Structure 1
C-alpha cells in the first residue's frame, strides 16, 4: 500500500480536485481526505482560451497558463495536506492529470498541460503525469482512463454495472459479472449546458437543473443533435470537449435550450447501451452531473433501471476522478496497464505516465 495524492482538473473547468488515498494499485483503495479548489473567473477564462490549441514554443500564452495551472495544483496539494494533517514526506507519489486542452486520438494527438517536474519541485513529492500519451501513440483513444479504478471499487457490487462519470464530457465504465470492463465517452456531459448558461448570462452552470426544469425539450433540435455520427460508433471511443456543435439550439429560449441540451446528455447515455455486452442492472453516477436533478431524472426515464449517485454505495462522487489518478500513478510505477483494448481501443494492455523524481 502506498500513500498517494491524485489531482484532477476536469473538462468542466470548475477547479482542482485533490484526493489523498492509500492504494496498492490493484484491488485495495482507502480514501483519506479530499479538497476542491475552485478556479477564479479570470484564470478560468485564460484556461478556456487554451482549448483547442496545439503545442507552442514554451514561451507563448499556453506556457504561461501551464505554469499558473501547475502552481495552483501545488497549492491544492498543500491545502490537502494541511486538512489531513499529513507531512509531504509521508506521501509516496502524486498522480497529476493536468488539464486537457486538445484531444484528437484519431490524429494520435492529445495534450494535457501541466508541468510535472515543476510540481515535484514545488511540493517535494515525486510526480507521475502525462497518463494518456502512451495509449494514444499506440493507437488507443487515450480515454477514459478511470475504468480500471472503477472495477477495483466495484469488486463487491452486483454486476453488470454502469459507472457513469458526468463532467464536461460523460463517460461510462461497464463492469461485467466476470470483471471484464468496457468503456467509452458517451457524449456531452455538462459542457454544452454550462456554455449555454454562461453565454446567456445565467451563471456558470444550471444549478440543480432548475433552468432546464423550467423549459421544454425541443424535439427537432434534439433530433438534429443526435444525428452526429459519433453515436453510431461502437465502444471504445472518446471525445474532445468541443466535439458537438450546439447550433440546433441557437434560436431557442434560454430555458428551452438548457432543457434540450440536458436531454441530449441523457439520450447520449441511453444510446450507448446497445453497444455494451449487456445492459447494466443499475447505474452509479459520479462527477458534477449527479447534482443536476433534472439530468438524473432524464437518465432514469431513458435507462429504465435504477440510477443513483455513487454516494449510495459509499463512494465520494466529487473525489472519485482525482482518486483514480492517484491509483493510476501507482499502477504506472508498477508497470501495470492503465488501459486495455476494451477501455480505449489500444491494441494491447498498455501502461503509461511519465515519472518526475525529486531532484537530489
Structure 2
C-alpha cells in the first residue's frame, strides 16, 4: 500500500492577487481528505513589484536567468510564502513535523510554450529551510523538456476528484478553472484525460478595472452588471487564432490584452470581457472528445455572478448546465492549491503529472524538484 502523505499546496496564479494554501491527505492517487485552506492577499506594493517582474523577465532566454531585480523579488516572494505557511500551521494547530511535503508553484513571470520556455520564480531550497518542511517546486519544466506545453497541470487532480462527484450529475462532466487564465478538463468514462487552456479568465477584467483605478478586480461583478456586451469588441477576442487553431496551446498573460482605455465605457468593457470569458470556454470545448452536459466551475471567476450568468446562458443553448464547484461539495477557491499538494506527492512518488491528452507531451511524464528541509 502506498504511503499516505500530508501535504500543503501553495499557489500564486496569473491574477497575482495573493497566495492560496490548502492541506491534503493523499497517496498521490486517491484523495483521502481535503483539509483546511486559506488565502493571503498581496498588498498593492508587492503586486506592483510582481507586475514589474513580468517586464524584467521578458528578455529571458535561459530559464535560470534573473535579470534586473528578479533575484530580490524571488527571495521576497519565497519569504512571503514561508510566512504564509507558518501562519497557516499555527492557525490550524499544526507543526512543521506534521507535514510531509509542500507543493510550491511560485509565480509565473514568463511562459512561452512554443519556445519550450517557462519561468516560475520561487526558491524551493529557501522555502524548505525557512519552513522546516520538504518542498517540491518547478513542476512544469520536465513536461516542456518532453515536448509538452507546461500547462495545465491540474487535470490529474480533477481526475481524482471526479471519482467522488455526486452521481446525479449529467455526464460528460467538465471541470473549468477560471483563474487569470481559464482551463478545462474532460474526464472520460474510462478515466482518459483531455485538457487545455481555454482563454482569458479574470485577467482581462482585472486589468480593465485597474486601468480605471477601480481596484484590482470587479467585486461581485458590480461594474459588469451595469454594462452591455459590445459585439464588435467581443468578436475581436473570440476571432483570435487561439480559438480556431486545431492545435491546443497554453497561454501566457501577454497573449491577450485589455481594450484601450476610452474605446468603450468602463461598464460595457467589463460586461463584454465577462461575456468573452464564458464564450471562450465554450469555443474551446468544441475540441473535447464529447459535448459536455455539466460544467463544474472553480477559481475566482465563479464568484463573479456576471461571468457565471454569461457562461450559463451560452452553455444552456447547447443543453449544458453550469454549476459552481461549491455546489457539488468541492472548495472552488482552494482547488488549485489542493492540486499543488497532490502534485507534490505524485512527484515524490515518481508518478506522472502530465499526459499527452493534457499538455501535448510525447508521453506521460513526472516532474518537480525535491528540496529536503535539511
Equivalent positions of 1:20-39 (< 5 A) are 20-39=23-42
State which of 306, 312, 332 in structure 1 corresponds to 2:347.
332
Equivalent positions of 1:119-134 (< 5 A) are 119-134=127-142
Where does residue 302 of structure 2 map in the other structure? Answer: 290
Equivalent positions of 1:8-19 (< 5 A) are 8-19=11-22
Q: Is the 2:205–2:258 Cα contact (8 Å) retained in structure 1? A: no
Where does residue 224 of structure 1 map in the other structure? Answer: 236
Where does residue 364 of structure 2 map in the other structure? Answer: 349
Q: Is the 2:243–2:284 Cα contact (8 Å) retained in structure 1? A: yes
In the alignment, structure 1 segments of 5+ residues that lack a partner are: none
* TM-score for the superposition, normalised by structure 2: 0.93
CA distance in 1 between counterparts of 2:156 and 2:79 reads 29
Q: What is the CA distance between 1:288 and its match in structure 2?
A: 0.4
Per-residue deviation, residues 93-147 of structure 1 (Å, max 9, x unmatched): 0000001010001100000000000000000000000000010111100000000
CA distance in 1 between counterparts of 2:275 and 2:24 reads 35
Equivalent positions of 1:51-130 (< 5 A) are 51-52=54-55, 53=57, 54=60, 58=66, 60-130=68-138
Q: What is the CA distance between 1:57 and its match in structure 2?
A: 5.4
Where does residue 48 of structure 1 map in the other structure? Answer: 51
Where does residue 225 of structure 2 map in the other structure? Answer: 213
Where does residue 163 of structure 1 map in the other structure? Answer: 175
Q: Is the 2:150–2:359 Cα contact (8 Å) retained in structure 1? A: yes
CA distance in 2 between counterparts of 1:167 and 1:29 reads 25
Where does residue 253 of structure 2 map in the other structure? Answer: 241
Partner of 1:242, secondary structure, is helix
Q: Is the 1:129–1:353 Cα contact (8 Å) retained in structure 2? A: yes
Q: What is the CA distance between 1:248 and its match in structure 2?
A: 6.8
Per-residue deviation, residues 270-309 of structure 1 (Å, max 9, x unmatched): 1012111011120111110000000001001111221111
CA distance in 1 between counterparts of 2:205 and 2:128 reads 36
CA distance in 1 between counterparts of 2:19 and 2:323 reads 24
- CA change 1:56–1:32 in 2 (3 A) is closer
Q: What is the CA distance between 1:156 and its match in structure 2?
A: 3.4
Partner of 1:170, secondary structure, is strand
CA distance in 2 between counterparts of 1:193 and 1:57 reads 31
* Of 301-310 and 338-347, the range deviating more from structure 2: 301-310
* TM-score for the superposition, normalised by structure 1: 0.97
